[in-house]
A and B are shown apart, each in its own frame.
Chain A
Amino acid sequence: MRTTWSILVAAASSSLALHLWSPLSEQAQPDPLAGTVAIVPLVASLFWAASRLSGLPLPGHSGTRLGAAVALVALASTRANLGLRWEGALGAPIVVAGFFILLFWQAAAQISATAGQRAKTARGYTGFAALVLAVYVGIAPWSIGQRPPDGDEPWYLLLTHSLAYDFDTDLSNNYRDGDSLGFMPRRIGPQPGDPVGAEGEQYSRHNMALPLALAPAYRLAGKAGAVAMIALFTALLATWQMAAADRLFPERPREVMLAGAAAALASPLLLYSHQVWVEMPAALALIVGFDSVLGIRESQSVRLSDGIKLTVAAVMLPLLKLRFLLLAAGLLVVALRHTRGSVRTWVARVGLALLAATAAILVFNHVLFGSALKHHSVGSLISYWSSPVSYLRGPLGLTFDGAFGLLGIAPLWLLPLAGLVLLRRQSRTLVVDIAIVSLPYLLLLGPRSEWYGGWSPPFRYGLVFLPFLVLLMVPILTRLDLRPVREAATFLAAATICLGLVALVLPGWTYNFGDGRSYLLDALTLDFGTDVSRLFPSWVRPRTANLVWLAIAAIGASLLAGRRQVRAGPNAIAFGFAAFLLAMALLPAASASLPQKTLEFEDLYWTATGGQLYPPRWTAGRAVYRGSWQLSPGDEISSPVRPRGAYLRLTLEYQKLAPRTRAEIEVLGDGVVLETVTLPPAGGWNRLLLDPIRWPAGSKLGFRLAASSEGAVRLDRAQLRWTAEEDL
């Protein structure tokens, strides 16, 4: 053990030395790869430590991968000398992609080597934690270097700064002194609705449990220290959820390892392993609590360790964020459900402790901030309640949305859905337990207009449930020797690898806007010149694809969990990859050939000669507006269309900014006026059905606000209906 620590310390010192003195760091404008290069010795030593802790030698090709990493270090250091056209934005992402491929290759090789013979001991679990920590530490420098803290992160970090240096939660001096410049390139001010103290103190709306945990590391190493702590929490979460799965499926160590590894090495944990959000530590607290409930259920007694874990987890959840109280309560209900007699009494006492802690939080908030719920009120919470359908939107969006959903960033998570079907048939206890813990929280969040979180990578609000998905994945992995499961798993893994690599290399692309599109789909739309977004589900901007993908997922999950299956042959993996590559090939063809029914004027396939996006890109709460393109007289906007008939019937959705003035819209085919429509005088958003237009084949569809119009017009969307001549 002493040797392991010595090597880790030596490697950390090497990384520090490289960070301080390598030529990449010394430049006036530090190289974006400087951090990644500096971290290589530490990451290598963590892999080595993980191997030692697991009691197994390093897998084959470890030396090759280390050599390749050194070669990449050399390339990173001297790439400017090559003269390729990549000195700018392009070179560093490609080199860093190479680092990431090596990182995941090594992690996968070590996991694969230990899958069959790992020890379910503290040492074995520590080895796994060290392994995933190596991955998280390896990706962190690039990720945090590419994207400054966003959303609530800056305020969490500023609160951490205040706790670390001022030992208080009053942020007024920190706002004044611009302390945020220590971890991001701009000053920040109070968030709207932040509590103000009696003597003008500026408090944050955010709880201080997470900042308190980060403060010592922040004091030592600034933002890097805080990020390292988050990475450590994430590694603990990845390990603990595997330990819980071990407890539930003791006879399936290989499948548990696979599920644990997939969760640890895929999005969203990867994306949140360096993000200062409360959801990730909350997921850790949740799985610690759930694991202790499983322990109590197993032994029907309360061991000290399980008791402490359950109490700490239950109390920590509301301390991290008050809404997590629902999860803590759910945990205790599950514990009560599985216990009898004195054990049940003991669990009830933990419930009382939770109540006391909650009351203390509310009183503390009331005394210090003047409101028990800080910037919230009971009325604002009730305003979330809405129609029954709206309760589905959040959970479905968090799962299926192309921009914010779990499957949109890592399709591999479709497997737990099949696992759920399988488990529901075999054993309902786990399914009911998970429902008890999850449903109240989902009912609270589901109807929120910003169910997707926003200003963060996808699946933020759902992250707390990730450990449950790991538990649900294990049953379906027991069928990996069956052909459809193996092929589907390979297909989904291929998609996850692709999306994961893109998300890691371009971290900014995971911060989508709530406008029904995503950076990735926008890029494809620009590349192919057709609206690729419409083929994928959006629960921000509901469309037909939502139902299609829901049906595909449901049918797919049922098939995978089906009873009649054949054993996998040696080619299942090859066919899984081949199927994904063919799906890639079909995507542009499908996008180009499937009919367009709706054109959204704010989308990228439009070419505008004037006008502007409305509301502007960075409008707060933009999702509540109707995104549109605002035309002034004379402005024109056009898009390619693929006709499905000789005649086109258009329905326009528009808003006149000056309702009583005259406004005429000219419908254009390749710039030629095909029809002129006078918009009736009406305020607000309106729909207008146009007469059929004989469509000139091969033309671009355009709209121009006639120069003689008075006042601007916003166009939201156009519905297209193509008909053959004889149908008129």
Chain B
Amino acid sequence: MSSTGVAERSRLVEFLPRIALPLSFFAAAAARAAFLTDAADTADAASNTAELSFLALVGTVVLLGIGTLDRADQFRTGVIALLAALGLWAIPPGDVRGASIFALLVVGLGLVTYERVRVGLGTHAGELIAWALAVQALCRPELYLAPRLDPGFLFEALAFPTLAALALSRLAQQEGKRLWLALLAIAVIDGGFGPEVALALVVLAASRALPRLPETAAWVACALLVIPAFDRQPFSLAIGVTIGITVAVAVVAAFLLANRNRTAIVATIALAGWLFLQFGGESAIGSIRTVVLGLVVLPLAAFAPPAQRLRAATGLALAAVAGLVLPAGAALTAPLVAIAAALPKRGRKLRIQAGWLGLVSICAGLAAIFPWLRPVPLESALGWMGLQLEIETAAIALLAFWLVATLARRSPATRRIPLAAIGLILVAAVLLANPQQRLLVSKAFVLDSEASSRSFPLDLEIHSITIDSYVSNAAQLADGTLIGRIVLEGEGGAERVLPLALGRETGEWAARRPGLEPVSPALAPWISWLAPDGAYFAQRYRANWTVGTAVSGRGFRVELEDSLPKDVSLAVFRIGAR
């Protein structure tokens, strides 16, 4: 046999198991869906079948990515496929099954990604494409709910991640696997690979300008910054001025950087920070993306070697500007690529950066699985850890990162595991000391025009209160319409009112139904599940209030607003308090 023939056969031998395992998983999952009986699932047979098919598809795509990256003997992929199939067979339908399967897939993909990057490879286009498709399937799973082979699906599920991966492959061949970090960060922050990300990466790859990356990145970022800004509603004069100034600052920064004027760089960064505070106002400081940027980008740039600090500074400045105008992925692409390119090519510092980004990604990935369609997963991940999305949180997280990194750098290798163990046990202790919410209402009830109020006793001091709810038949109501309220009845008749407004604290349960979507408020759901017909994701919402000073009272009641149309109802699932 010729050497070409041997090589082709060898490729086939490598390729077969990577296909065999995902397809076998799909067969096992499909068999579960195909042979469901009415007796087993009388209530939600259709949604159960749809959910199984959905999970089978997403699982197969992710397993393809896992199998492609798992270069060992496929044992790990086999176990993940096995556990996923077992989960589909054993766990009853609903949000718990979805969250469990997604958790397994996210952890599995994270593991093989880490392993793959660790062994020093990772610029192969085929691998990157399989990986990007898997990430896309996890970040945009709704694409796989009853998919049709129409242009929308082909572009969003296949073309954009493929383009991004191809571009990254080219960039990484020149700059090394560090750029994986950029791709990972972009995917995490932007929730997958959209058209802007793919476009930005293709422009960067095609420019062949990596030796002058900071400058190129700056220009690309400046050009793309404008796109998301015009989408912002409502578009005010202040925002327009902000955008104008920040674009100007970015352009100046790019010119200064091109001349390597360090004083000017510092001044530019200071100016960007000032703009941050001055024009961003509440939307900037409180912005989730600001914190995201703080958490992801700053540690990423922290260990850039002196020779690469210009690139890091460029990335930071661009990122700061991008954060101000609520950037889409495109706006983040250039800074992140710049920062990733600024990292050392190998060594402990790169490992620390990769570890840090991996940790953030895992948190965000785990958050993304719950409830499948979380638009800003990092926010949720931080929320689960009891962290509020404030600038102080970012500072504390950065300090903790620096502390851990320093300890890891200075401690001998033999003590790192015990050190990590002690740290983790301390974290566990903190978590354990943080008591659970006390459930004031755990049995769901519905308020409608006939029964518009429910009262409950209260026998504890309240610091904060949480309510899970949804509204029915609210599609035609305007965003912000007052749906109801929680009234805390204090001692001596004093009352504290917590409003439930449409699109803020609660929302329409069928907001994703194809016909309703355009007119429904775009509030992030807390939990999603498949609607009874299995055609779209139903959703319910969570609202939190911090009461400030502790409130103690005789009871509380939940009320539905009287002025609403007759057919509007409010379903309350649970009310918790701390």
Give A contacts to B, CB under 8 Å: 14, 18, 22-24, 37, 40-41, 44, 48, 57-58, 61-64, 66-68, 70-71, 73-74, 77-78, 80-87, 90-91, 94, 98, 101, 490, 494, 497-498, 501-502, 526-530, 569-582, 584-589, 592, 607
B136 to chain A, nearest CB (A): 24
Q: Which 3 A-B residue pairs are closest in the complex by CB-CB distance?
A: A574-B17, A577-B78, A529-B37
Residues of chain A within 8 A of B434, CB atoms compared: 77-78
Residues of chain B within 8 A of A101, CB atoms compared: 83
Residues of chain B within 8 A of A71, CB atoms compared: 366
A490 touches B436 (CB 8 A): no
Give bound CA distance, A101 to B79, whole Å: 10
Partner of A81, one of B34, B85, B576: B576
Q: Does B24 lie at the interface of the complex (its beta carbon under 8 Å from any beta carbon of A)?
A: yes
B31 touches A94 (CB 8 A): no
A74 touches B428 (CB 8 A): yes
B428 touches A573 (CB 8 A): no
Give bound CA distance, A205 to B207, whole Å: 86
A23 touches B436 (CB 8 A): yes
Give B contacts to A, CB under 8 Å: 13-14, 16-18, 20-21, 23-25, 27-28, 30-32, 34-40, 67, 73-75, 77-79, 81-83, 85-86, 89-92, 94-96, 99-100, 103, 107, 111, 366, 370, 384-385, 414, 416-418, 420-421, 424-425, 427-428, 431-432, 434-437, 439, 442, 466, 468, 526-527, 540, 542, 573-574, 576
Residues of chain A within 8 A of B432, CB atoms compared: 18, 22-24, 37, 73, 77
B86 to chain A, nearest CB (A): 5
A505 to chain B, nearest CB (A): 8
Give bound CA distance, A82 to B439, whole Å: 12
A74 touches B442 (CB 8 A): no
Residues of chain B within 8 A of A73, CB atoms compared: 428, 431-432
- Dominant secondary structure of chain A at its interface with chain B: helix
A584 touches B75 (CB 8 A): no
Which of A44, A48, A61, A582 is most buried by chain B, counting CB atoms within 10 A of its CB?
A582
A83 touches B573 (CB 8 A): yes
Residues of chain A within 8 A of B20, CB atoms compared: 571, 574-575, 578
Give bound CA distance, A529 to B385, whole Å: 43
- Dominant secondary structure of chain B at its interface with chain A: helix
Closest to A62 in B: B417
A581 touches B28 (CB 8 A): yes
Closest to A18 in B: B432
B437 touches A81 (CB 8 A): yes
A4 to chain B, nearest CB (A): 12
Residues of chain B within 8 A of A86, CB atoms compared: 96
B96 touches A94 (CB 8 A): yes
Given contacts A494-B82, A529-B39, contact A585 B30 (CB under 8 A): yes
Partner of B417, one of A63, A82, A586: A63
Residues of chain B within 8 A of A501, CB atoms compared: 83, 86
Given contacts A70-B428, A582-B28, A584-B85, contact A80 B94 (CB under 8 A): no
A85 to chain B, nearest CB (A): 6
Partner of A78, one of B36, B370, B431: B431
B81 touches A588 (CB 8 A): no
Closest to B77 in A: A574
Residues of chain B within 8 A of A584, CB atoms compared: 28, 31, 85, 89
A702 to chain B, nearest CB (A): 15
Partner of B73, one of A67, A98, A574, A587: A574
Closest to A79 in B: B436
Partner of A586, one of B25, B31, B86, B107: B31
Give bound CA distance, A529 to B38, whole Å: 8
Given contacts A70-B427, A571-B74, contact A581 B21 (CB under 8 A): yes
Given contacts A588-B31, A588-B32, contact A77 B421 (CB under 8 A): no
Given contacts A501-B86, A570-B73, A584-B85, contact A576 B78 (CB under 8 A): yes
A77 touches B436 (CB 8 A): yes
A78 touches B384 (CB 8 A): yes
A573 touches B542 (CB 8 A): no
Closest to A91 in B: B96
Residues of chain A within 8 A of B21, CB atoms compared: 574, 577-578, 581
Give bound CA distance, A73 to B79, whole Å: 23
A78 touches B436 (CB 8 A): yes
Residues of chain B within 8 A of A585, CB atoms compared: 24, 27-28, 30-31
Give bound CA distance, A101 to B75, whole Å: 15
Closest to A98 in B: B103
Residues of chain B within 8 A of A58, CB atoms compared: 417
Given contacts A529-B39, A580-B82, A586-B31, contact A83 B468 (CB under 8 A): yes
Which of A37, A58, A578 is most buried by chain B, counting CB atoms within 10 A of its CB?
A578
Residues of chain B within 8 A of A40, CB atoms compared: 428
Partner of A527, one of B37, B86, B95, B414: B37
Residues of chain A within 8 A of B67, CB atoms compared: 574
A606 to chain B, nearest CB (A): 11
Give bound CA distance, A205 to B16, whole Å: 60
Residues of chain B within 8 A of A498, CB atoms compared: 82, 86
Give bound CA distance, A528 to B37, whole Å: 6
B408 to chain A, nearest CB (A): 10
B530 to chain A, nearest CB (A): 13
B74 touches A527 (CB 8 A): no
A317 to chain B, nearest CB (A): 39
B557 to chain A, nearest CB (A): 21
A87 touches B81 (CB 8 A): no
Residues of chain A within 8 A of B418, CB atoms compared: 48
Closest to A526 in B: B40
Residues of chain A within 8 A of B79, CB atoms compared: 497, 577
A485 to chain B, nearest CB (A): 15
Residues of chain B within 8 A of A578, CB atoms compared: 17, 20-21, 23-24, 78
B78 touches A83 (CB 8 A): no
Residues of chain A within 8 A of B82, CB atoms compared: 494, 497-498, 577, 580-581
A70 touches B425 (CB 8 A): yes
A81 touches B436 (CB 8 A): yes
Given contacts A81-B576, A529-B40, contact A90 B91 (CB under 8 A): yes
Partner of B425, one of A41, A74, A80, A587: A41
A504 to chain B, nearest CB (A): 12
Give bound CA distance, A569 to B10, whole Å: 11
Give bound CA distance, A509 to B408, whole Å: 46
B11 to chain A, nearest CB (A): 12
Residues of chain B within 8 A of A78, CB atoms compared: 384, 431, 434, 436
Give bound CA distance, A499 to B241, whole Å: 64
Closest to A588 in B: B35
Residues of chain A within 8 A of B96, CB atoms compared: 84-86, 90-91, 94
A570 touches B437 (CB 8 A): no
Give bound CA distance, A584 to B25, whole Å: 9
B92 touches A90 (CB 8 A): yes
A164 to chain B, nearest CB (A): 32
Partner of A494, one of B23, B78, B95: B78
Residues of chain A within 8 A of B28, CB atoms compared: 581-582, 584-585
Residues of chain A within 8 A of B573, CB atoms compared: 83
Residues of chain B within 8 A of A586, CB atoms compared: 31
A83 touches B542 (CB 8 A): yes
Give bound CA distance, A90 to B95, whole Å: 11
Residues of chain B within 8 A of A98, CB atoms compared: 103
Question: Besides the contacts A74-B384, A589-B35, what 10 more A-B pairs have beta carbons closer than 8 Å?
Answer: A57-B414, A63-B417, A63-B421, A80-B437, A498-B86, A501-B83, A526-B40, A571-B74, A578-B23, A588-B31
Closest to B426 in A: A70
Closest to B438 in A: A80
Give bound CA distance, A77 to B427, whole Å: 13
Closest to B16 in A: A571
Residues of chain A within 8 A of B466, CB atoms compared: 81
Give bound CA distance, A82 to B81, whole Å: 26
Given contacts A23-B436, A498-B82, A526-B39, contact A94 B428 (CB under 8 A): no
A66 touches B13 (CB 8 A): no
Give bound CA distance, A74 to B281, whole Å: 34
A128 to chain B, nearest CB (A): 20
Give bound CA distance, A530 to B31, whole Å: 14
